[in-house]
Chain A
Amino acid sequence: MTASQIGSSTRRFGGYERVTGSQEFVADLRLDGMLFVKLVSIDCARARIVSVDTSAARGLAGVVAVVTSDDLPQPVPRFGPVYKDRPILAVGETKYHGEPVAAVVAESKEVAEVAASLVAIQFEELPAVFTVASALNPLSPLVQEPELRSAGTLASTNVLSEQVFGWGDLGATEADLVIENDYCFPMVTHFAIEPHGCMVVSSSGGFEVWSPVQHPYLLQAILADLFDLPLTRVRVVAPDPGGAFGGKQNPKFEPLLCFLARMTNRPVRLILTLEESFQATRRTSAEIHIRSGFSRDGLLCFQDIESNFLLGAYADIAGRVVSKSNYLGCGPYRTPVAKIRARALLSHTTPSCAFRGFGTPQVAWALESQMDAAARHLGIDGLQIRLMNLAAKGEDVVPGDVPADGEWAQSVQKAASAVGWGEPLEPNHGRGIAVGIKSGATTGLSYSTIRLLFDGSVTIYAGTSDMGQGARTIFAQIVSDELGVPIEQIDVVMGDTSVVPFDLQTSASRSTVFMGNAILDACRDIQLQVRELAAELHGTALENVRIVAGGVFISEVKVSIPEVVQASLGRLRGELIGNGTMRRTDIANHPLGGRPAFFEFNCTAFEVGVDVETGEVSVIKHVSVGDTGKSLNPLQVEMQDEGAAIMGLGHTMMEHVILDESGRIANLGALDYRIPTSKDLPLSLSTYSIENADGPGPYGSKGVSEGAILCTAPAFASAVTEATGVVIRNLPLTPERVWRAIRDGASDSSTVEQV
């Protein structure tokens, strides 16, 4: 019998491969006879394509094809996870900086590159939309042609969707203090260290596609739809992504590669440069106007939120980013009255999509900064105002929906004590604290199959994508405990739609809960089969056979599961197969289509020191506490939490995509777009978990991995305010921005009504 795996810091599955370089990412795979694809784009965001001259490129030795939208089926097919709005290649005009106009296919990477530089594109820059203000202006050009939009009054505007959530009667609500402000959260880019890429083979009427995609089954469905193929004819192999963070959820260039593979009848491969990856996807930026009402003693009376999220030229999944984050726009608090108006706006910028936190960091930036503004005006401590408004377990967050599912105050208390809340501070130092909640996954099916082989070893099939969160490890831990199999004898197979059963997606921190439960269910299936075999073997009734901690008890006699299987199946051998699912269905009329399966709650606290002459901020302490229900693998929980914290520090302190007047990304690439390095790591970074086994996942677990990015920015900014007295409402808090605020004496500029 092995010691319990659940709750232990089992080493990462696939760890050996990752530290030795033998882990194969998509760019490490080679296909015989493959051709290399290079995308051709223009140095402008929105432009009319006047002409494309491919003759010089075609004439180069080693070039197999140069393809523009004219070479594709007409009208050019479009695709997308929600709206079919993205063309395979630009049609008539480009809509964002980097949108490919042509693709070169060549025998080598170098030839493809040279040929791409020989494609001569004449274009004429067109007026474009790059900001929230211009997207809202009725005189601005339309990003998407109305005939391509679904019908409705919004089709002739740049508003993709507009949703209003709320409860209570705002007009009839009074407050002693009303604070009103505008907040800005800029575009940031995922910057996975593995750039995007894919390979496609066209074969026997279908395709084999290699893509480090987070949702292989969605990619399969989209390709099958585009090419009118049965799902069986589209095989998606999804090697583990080298970081995804939401950026690799949905198809980008896989459809193009399918066309190219068909046209050339050869395997084709496209590995983007980092710069092209920047141009492929980004976080949805936001401008949020918010009015918050409080009673004299600090209780929330209402929130009135108008948030405008700036999407790119194609919707991708960003509409859902907006609705899901704004649905919980009032945070983890008891909010008596709320009105939230959230718009998703199209613009001539990089298509935005999911990014760790899925819109919540944007919303929490505004909301939590408001809590601090109120605390300052009321003379209340930032910790107290949160504790006093936080929903207790079982209390409503959104009335009528899932109530608070954790003892959230415990996390807040833990963070406060870890950061040394209330202790004396050096000059120009400050502390800040903030909270965030994100709605976990809502709906969908996760399916798992488990094979218990004759010798007692196990193969788990799970359609999850192991992109750094360590899903394989967690799944193996569950099976190890449930079936009494040593962890070394477990194999986890993922990432191949031809072999592994369906999983809706890998996102929204769902895998431990959804796939974890499916695996638990599959284990139960096997346990039942084992009990039946044991009962038969020992000539006893089923109820006399129990399975406890992976061991089989027949009355008082204990045997192992493999012993039962081997004795029963005998000389002719065999195996047991267990199936398991977790499925949550749509709820009609629910704004999110379904209730959150859990909330991901986090409290983050900082101590910072500010160089008031230069605006540089030193992070002395950075504390993150997550409400994990149960940490199935504490080491993995901590590393993901730290990772999310560091990523949050990036968008808080230094990251933003800068556009020039033509909508081009001015800081395109690693030289000019800065993310945190080892030197930017806080002097002390610590993470903690609150475990009350109150989650819906296996053993009371909840999803983790996004928590620590939710409220990094407001906690940090609040600490800077305490250190300097200045209040900043635009991210990131670069040294220059902090310096400027100090120079301008930018103390709290909230519009305040005090009754």
Chain B
Amino acid sequence: MHEVTLGMNGTTEDIIVLRDLSKVYKDGVEVLALDRINLDIAAGEFVAIVGPSGSGKSTLLNMVGLLDTPTSGQILLKGIDVSRASPNERARLRNKELGFVFQYHHLIPEFTALENVMMPMLIAGKKESEARVRARELLVSVGLGERMDNRPNQLSGGQSQRVAVARALVNGPSIVIGDELTGNLDTKSSQLIYDLLRDLNKRINQTFILVTHDMVLAEKTDRIIRIVDGRIVCEMRRQGDEFVASEKCDLGEDGGEIRRD
């Protein structure tokens, strides 16, 4: 078994490349969740994925996050095809290169906020003292310097989600994935977390891919990708304060959810 070593990349290189990516679920009825998706995401991009319920947003994110395997097509991470990587190799890449935040925080209830944040570093086999220092820094930067020794049941939903964000960032992943990560939060907490991620994205050039239903939040990103029935139907990029639709955008298909100023 060989280890995939990821090369150094310039900011302009595509960190994620999806080629004809399809996913078919086959329990009982066949569901074509993703239909030949082609997508390039550059390092440092801040991307929102939007679309109606059941359109395949989570499925797409799980593919990119190496949590699930495609039925056909390729996923290239930093130029390396990882679509057929072994389970152990995928686990290693998830640990090193990817950060996850889901709608629910999934913090481990028996561990404090600090220990939860340290977890990915301990999984990587890093020294506990090193992990503690790094986790502390991150908790301070998400504004939880005072709540480090609290356990999840002593934290609010928004605080827990910020701990989850810190945990996703602790190993310095090149890609951070958020699946409706503010779905359970009120507007104020959601704004806070988005601003935090946006700030990190600008400062250390991490790539963020976030699924959201909230167009106000989506418009805080640089690029909005709209998926319907497992296909990318529309792409918009920020230009200054505005979003400009790419040529393939077909807004006639379903409503005017995306405003074009």
Q: Do A and B come from one complex?
A: no
B contact residues vs A (CB 8 Å cutoff) = none
- Chain A residues in the interface with B (C-beta under 8 A): none
